[in-house]
Amino acid sequence: MLLDWALLGGAAALAGALNAVAGGGSFLTLPALAMVGVPLVSANATGTAALLPGYLAGAWALRKELSGPMSPSLLRLGVLSVLGGAAGAALLLSTSNHAFARIVPWLLLAATLLFAIGPGLVRRRLATADNHKPRGRWLADLGIVAVAVYGGYFNGGLGILLLAVLGALGHTDMGRMNGIKNFVSAILTLIAVAIYAASGAIVWTHALWMALGATVGGYAGGMAARRLKPEVVRGFVVLTGLAMTAAFLLKAY
């Protein structure tokens, strides 16, 4: 039991540190919860709940980036995030642990590949921003809802996926894009966690312990961010994601 708590706390602290520097913390929280015997659907819900405080803090930290007129409006973004996050959470809860065990490796692989190539895609999109016009409202709505559904179902790689979609939709201000990313992530995760909690899918003792670990790790990671190269951390996250993908593939198939 003591080793289980140490594993969960250590994984959460490292996840918080990774999120503060480059992202990818969920690649550690889900496997750690599975290793201590939490069923995969519940592990996914519990890990998401543990990272919720970080999403809320991130949204608050960049609240000024959301001032002024924007399209879609903040209210519209909030509604789309709630709808998508709720749909994703409901979809997760309707998935059996057996089926989710076979889906998880592919979700991890997709999130890992997106994490590896996503920043480059965003940079290239911003570099050619003058050649692109903002997309229509309904296409923008569909993009946000689709990402919110993904985030409500599986949180891995959510941030970089949101940035990629926002870039594709015509956004060019990186500060504003990060503000929107944090706002959408916080709203969809909040509604998803509420639905998980109502269904009894969250192991609260684990979630609260890991939230504490992630907070400590996030602070330490933020302090160390000036000395660490994001590229090195990103490489570590990609290798970890590939290793976790292989482990879950071997277990499921």
For residues 105 and 244, give the distance between their C-alpha atoms in angstroms, rounded to a whole number: 8
Spell out the residues 6+ positions from residue 10 whose beta carbon is closer than 8 angstroms to its own. 32, 213
Q: What is the pLDDT of residue 7?
A: 94
Buried b / exposed e over 168-189, threshold 16 CB at 10 Å, is bbbbbeeebbbbbbbbbbbbbb
Per run of 10 residues, the mean pLDDT along the chain (length 253 residues) is: 92 84 80 94 95 84 76 83 97 96 91 77 63 62 91 86 78 78 91 97 96 87 71 81 89 82
Nearest to 220 by CA among 7, 2, 12: 12
Domain boundaries, the chain: 2-252
- Between the alpha carbon of residue 129 and those of residues 132, 138, 181, 193, the distances in Å are 5, 20, 18, 35
Q: What is the pLDDT of residue 231?
A: 75
For residues 118 and 163, give the distance between their C-alpha atoms in angstroms, rounded to a whole number: 8
Contact at 8 Å (CB) between 68 and 177? no
- Rg of the chain on CA atoms, in Å: 17
DSSP code for 63 = G
Torsional class of 37: left (φ above 0), alpha (ψ -120 to 50), beta (otherwise): left
Q: What is the pLDDT of residue 62?
A: 77
Nearest to 113 by CA among 51, 175, 179, 160: 160
For residues 108 and 134, give the distance between their C-alpha atoms in angstroms, rounded to a whole number: 31
Q: What is the pLDDT of residue 129?
A: 54
Contact at 8 Å (CB) between 19 and 221? yes
Contact at 8 Å (CB) between 161 and 148? no
For residues 111 and 96, give the distance between their C-alpha atoms in angstroms, rounded to a whole number: 21
The first and second tokens of residue 127, run together, are 């570099």
Q: What is the pLDDT of residue 97?
A: 94
Does a cis peptide bond (omega within 30 degrees of 0) precede residue 53? no
Please, where are the H alpha helices in 154-229? 158-168, 174-199, 204-224
